Every structure is written in structure tokens, then in C-alpha cells.
Amino acid sequence: MSNNLSYLLGRKGINKNLFEELGNAAAETGTPDAQTLDKLHLDFLVGKSTVHGTVSFYDFLKPENKGKKAYICNGSACMTAGTQPELLKKLSANFSENEIGEMCCLGRCHENSAFHVDGKNFSGTDINNIENIKQGRVTTVEKYNVACKGTAVLTKATLPVKEYYKTFTTFLQKTPDELLLELKASGLRGRGGAGFPMAFKLESCKNTTSDSKFIVCNADEGDPGAYSDRYIMENRPHALLMGMMMAGYMAGASCGVVYIRGEYPESVAIISSCIDQLRKENLLGENINGSGFNFDFKVIKAQGAYICGEETALLSSIEGQRPEVRVRPPYPTQQGLFNKPTVVNNVETLANLPFIYENGGKAYAAIGTAKSTGTKLISLDGYFHRPGIYEVDMGTPLSVVIHELGGGFRRPVKAMHIGGPLGGLVPISKIENLSIDFDSFAREGFLLGHASIVCIPEDFPLIKYIEHLFKFTAHESCGKCFPCRLGSTRGYEMIEKAQNEDYKINLTLMNDLLETLETGSLCALGGGLPLPVKNAMKYFESELSPYFKK
């Protein structure tokens, strides 16, 4: 990451940023043309290598994306469901091979058969209506279960805008220090990864002197199997937006950036519409409600890169640089977007703030466990009788989620991948040992993360699933650190070779590779990959033994 580039790319401000310009340039054909790239590098005063390096990284900007009209989901849930080969046949009858691309997880894990045409997502039985879809005459008939067991924080219906935002106008009557104490009392931890305390980030940003600061919502929910953030953006959008405004007031930030993955076009449209609604209600802009607080939003549509879920890569992405992970320190709260103090949190984390400031930090802390307060959204895939989004109090037994809320499995399942591709691979035998909280999962050697659940049926070879994880990491790696860039590729090559040739993987070599990835990677992409692989090798040793040489 170049400090000079960050300053340079920020000179036009957030409303005219290089990344968005590149996306606009690719909208018609799928990739920007050479003339546009030349114009942009001169307009932003950066080298050609910067612009071409950025374009070549993203799935929806790179030259290979030119002419694509349809995309098929290649996420973990659709893969284990086995729906995509038949779906591809049907798409191929309507589009040429060169017109079909891939997207990694469209958030339709509850019914699979997911695909994307003309800026819209489809799944389930939608493919049977492909002729009308091509003509733009129909939309998806998607539906999924939503329920709560315990306290409804994020699944509770929101009030009309004017009435709902009374909580925010009351909030503005207190000082940031008073409000931070309330947030600390709530014990709110980040809902996207390792569970970092939110108040610590906001206070750090608040205490850093700068002429401008940012609140960035990481809505790049790229974990295959997870669609809880999409649920919030499309069904509880104002909980997220108010949460960002509250975070901005506490940190002293006047701009909120909502970075939404390109695979969620409906989320982009809904959030943008709700921001327009807030402007009409005079709840955005300068001196909101006479408080002296200024705040406004910028929505940025991502262009297909899982690594942008890592907060520093996301910041580089917004700037228009290649989304490479930054070395820390400095941390984003001191030097983030355009080198300005920045707080990055995911959708679910920010959407908790309205409840906390309506009911009090202690009321929120009373939900869940001592170290994992509040509630958690769970995403259940299509292997459950009742797939969908479920909100539970932290500490709820995993068995309750699976059997009571999800209705159990439709087919025999041997393992569940919980928490995204970097989460733990949980064998069915461990269900009774786990509860939905950070510490329970960590104690058993797993990771709660996004709390998405992707089921692996008994007839799906685990060696294929491990191959999928290595291949996913190799494709999505930013390439900055050698352990991730090279290690994921070498792992994929060994797994593939063991299946197709007279070759057995040396167990010591594999363990060394996993240790190098775990300890040497700059971020959780390379560092997290070893967890599910180790879980598979530990709990499914007999199934995997034919591929390994001890």
C-alpha cells in the first residue's frame, strides 16, 4: 500500500473515486476499454500500472469478463447441493459458452440453483422461467424462513422512518463519551469474524485528530453460505443506516461508506433508495436536527473479490488500488481510507446499535453470555427442512438451531462448515458440544464467524471439499504475501494430484504447509484456511487416509 497513492486518490473526495469510475466504465461490456483506462489514469494522476493492476484483479472488471451475460453461482452451498451442473445445462441452452461466467455465492444458499442475469439474481425454480427472465419480464420468486428464538433485535420489524429515527434524535442529545460508555456496557463484539469489541475501534478513531474521518460498512458478505447481511440490507436497511450514523457521531466522522458486494444487486438498490428517503426527511446532511452533527452516505458497488471482506483490502479497493492486505500498524482507526481515520464494521455489527441505544447497553448485555452478548443471525442452507435466517440469543445450543429451528436435515449429513470458508468443519458428532457464541466454538477448535452453515452430505467426498477450499483461496488471494499466494496453490495441486494420479500426500509436508499458511499469512484468508483442513484431517481421518502417506 502506498501512502502517496492513498492521498492522491483521495484528492477528489469519496464522491468521485477511481474504483467507482472503473465500475461505470465496465458496465456496458463487462470490462473497461483501453481508451477509458488511459483517460482515468491521467484524470486521477496515477500511473497506468495502478489502473491496469486494479482492473485485472476483479472478476467483474478483468478483460475475461467481457461479453458475459449470465453467471452461475460456484459457492460452497450450491456445490454441495449438486444443483449447478443441471443449471448450467439449462443456461447453456440460452447463452453461448463465452456469455456465461461465474459468481461466488449469490446469497441464495437456502434454495441453491443460483444464477445471475442482467443485473438480477435468481435461484430455486427460477431457471424454468429463463425465457421471460431474458426479456426482463419476471423477477425472482425467492423466499426463505425468518424466525427468532429469544430476543428479537435484528428480526424485529422496524417502525416508519420518522418514528424509527426518534431514537437517533434522542441519541444526538448525549455526548460521544457518554454514548461510548453505553456501548462498552453492551459488550458488542464484531459479527463478521473473530469478534473484536466495537467500542474499542470507535474510541480509537474518536481520539485520533483529523480533518475528516470515515465510517465504512463492510457489506462485502463473501462467505459462501452466509446471507444474513443481505437479509438486513434488504429487510432491515434502516437498522444498518442508523447504526452507521450513530457510529459516525461517536467517532467524529461525517461520511459513511456502504461497500456492497456486486453479487447483491438488490441490496445496492434498496440501500440507495433508503438513503434517498433519509435525505427527503432531512435526516442527512449538515447540522442534523440542530445538533451540529454533519453526516452523509456514499454507496459503492464492489466488483467481485472475496479478499475485500478483509478491512484493509476493502479500503484499498475503495481508493482504486489493487485490494491488497495492508501491514498493520498503522491500524485503520488511525490511518484508513485515503489515510484518514476510519472505522470498519460489518452489516450485522452496525445494525445492533439502534437496539442498544433504544434499550440501553445493560439490557443488551443481559442477552446472551458474559463474553458473547446479544444475539446472532444464523444462515441455514438448503439441506435443512426449514432453511433461512434465524436469530438466537448468544449461548443457544447448536442442537436447538439445527433440530428445532431448521427442522433437521433433509438428507444424511456428515459435517457442517460453519462460519464461511475459513470457519471450522464441524462433524455431526460435535453438535451437542457447541452453542452459538464465540467462546464455545473457539474452545472446541472451530470459529463462529458469520455463523453460516453449509452442510456436507454423507455422499460428498471430503477430499473434493478440501480441494474446493484450496482452490477458492488460491483464486481469491490478493497475492501480497507468499504463504497465502503460493501455499494455497501448492495445497490445491497436491489434493488434485492425489485424486487423479498414483500419488499420496506426505502428511508431514501437508502439516508444514498448513503451519506456514497459519503463521505466515498477512490476513485471515491464508491464515484461516488451515482450520477446516485440519478439522477434516482430524475428524475424518479414515475417509481421507487413502490420499495420504504417513
The residue out of 143, 174, 204 marking a domain boundary is 143
334 burial class (0-12, 13-18, 19+ CB within 10 angstroms)? middle
Asked if 58 and 74 sit in the same domain, the reply is no
**Which residue type is seen at 62?**
K
Q: Which CATH number do you get for residue 135?
A: 3.40.30.10
| Cα-trace Rg, the chain | 23
Residue 151 lies in a domain: no
**What average pLDDT score do residues 85-95 get?**
97
Give the model's pLDDT for residue 502.
94
Claim to verify: residue 473 and residue 512 sit in the same structural domain: yes
Q: Tell whether 341 is covered by a domain.
A: yes
Mean pLDDT of 277-306: 96
Q: 149 in a domain, yes or no?
A: no
Q: Read off the pLDDT of residues 500-512 as tens digits, 9 standing for 90 and up.
A: 999 999 999 999 9
Residue 214, φ and ψ in degrees, nearest 5:
-130, 145
E strand intervals along 87-236 = 100-103, 115-117, 120-122, 145-149, 214-219
Amino acid of residue 128: N
Give which of 374, 386, 317 is closest to 183, Cα–Cα: 374
The single-letter code of the amino acid at 507 is L
Helix (H, G, I), strand (E, B) or coil at 25: helix
Q: Which of 108, 118, 58 is nearest to 84 (CA)?
A: 108
Q: Which residues pair with 200 in a beta bridge?
A: none
DSSP assignment of 301-341 equals E--S-GGGGSHHHHHHHHHTS--PPPPSSSPTTTS-GGGS-
pLDDT at 475 over 80: yes
Pair 197, 314 in one domain: yes
Q: Over the range 10-40, which residues count as b (16 or more CB within 10 Å of their CB) and which as e?
A: beeebeebbbbbbbebbeeebbbeeebbeeb
Q: Are residues 439 and 501 in the same domain?
A: no
Lowest mean pLDDT among 12-16, 175-179, 250-254, 373-377: 12-16
Average pLDDT for residues 256-269, to the nearest whole number?
Answer: 97
Q: Please compute the mean of the pLDDT values over residues 109-127 and round it to a whole number.
A: 96
**How do beta strands 115-117 and 120-122 pair?**
antiparallel
How deeply is 129 buried, as exposed, middle or buried, from its count of CB atoms within 10 A (0-12, 13-18, 19+)? middle
Residue 343 has phi, psi (to 5 degrees) of: -105, 125
Q: Are residues 255 and 389 in the same domain?
A: no
Mean pLDDT, residues 160-185 taken together? 97
- Is residue 397 in a domain? yes
357-363 long-range contacts (CB < 8 A, ≥24 apart) are 357/167, 357/170, 357/171, 357/179, 357/182, 357/246, 358/167, 360/182, 360/185, 361/181, 361/182, 361/183, 361/184, 361/185, 361/186, 361/187, 362/185, 362/186
Tell me, yes or no, whether 298 and 190 share the same domain.
Answer: yes
Q: Is residue 153 part of a domain?
A: no
Give the chain's mean pLDDT.
96
Mean pLDDT (whole number) for 448-455 = 95
Q: How many domains does the chain have?
A: 5
Specify whether 447 is located in the same domain as 477.
no
CB 550 within 8 A of CB 508: no
Residues 295 and 408 in one domain: no
Q: Are residues 210 and 303 in the same domain?
A: yes
- Report how far residue 246's alpha carbon sits from residue 260's, in angstroms, rounded to the nearest whole number: 20
Which residue shows C-alpha cell 503463521? 519
Whether pLDDT at 194 is above 70: no
Query: How much of the chain, in percent, has pLDDT values that exceed 90?
Result: 95
CA dist 40 and 48 (Å) reads 9
353, 243 in Cβ contact below 8 A?
Answer: yes
The dihedrals phi and psi of 257, each to the nearest 5 degrees, come to -110, 120
The range of the structural domain enclosing residue 386 comes to 375-455
Does residue 310 fall inside a structural domain?
yes
Task: State the angle between helix axes of 482-500 and 507-520 in degrees (0 to 180), rounded to the nearest 10.
Answer: 150
Q: Which of 365, 394, 425 is the last residue of a domain?
A: 365
pLDDT recorded at residue 2 = 63
CB 103 within 8 A of CB 59: yes
442 and 473 in a single domain? The answer is no
Residue 154 in domain: no
In order of 103, 142, 375, 452, the CA distances from 110 in angstroms are 17, 9, 21, 11
pLDDT for the residue 550:
75
Same domain, 243 and 219: yes
End-to-end CA gap in the chain:
42
Domain final position from 439, 455, 471:
455
Nearest Cα to 277, choosing from 257, 297, 261, 260? Answer: 297
Residue 466: pLDDT over 90: yes
Task: Check whether residue 337 and residue 263 sit in a common domain.
Answer: yes
Angle subtended at Cα 464 by Cα 507 and Cα 461, rounded to the nearest 5 degrees? 95
Would you call 103 helix, strand, or coil by DSSP?
strand
Task: Tell me, yes or no, whether 307 lies in a domain.
Answer: yes
Residue 1 has pLDDT above 80, yes or no: no
* 381: CATH: 3.10.20.600
In eight-state DSSP terms, residue 429 is: G
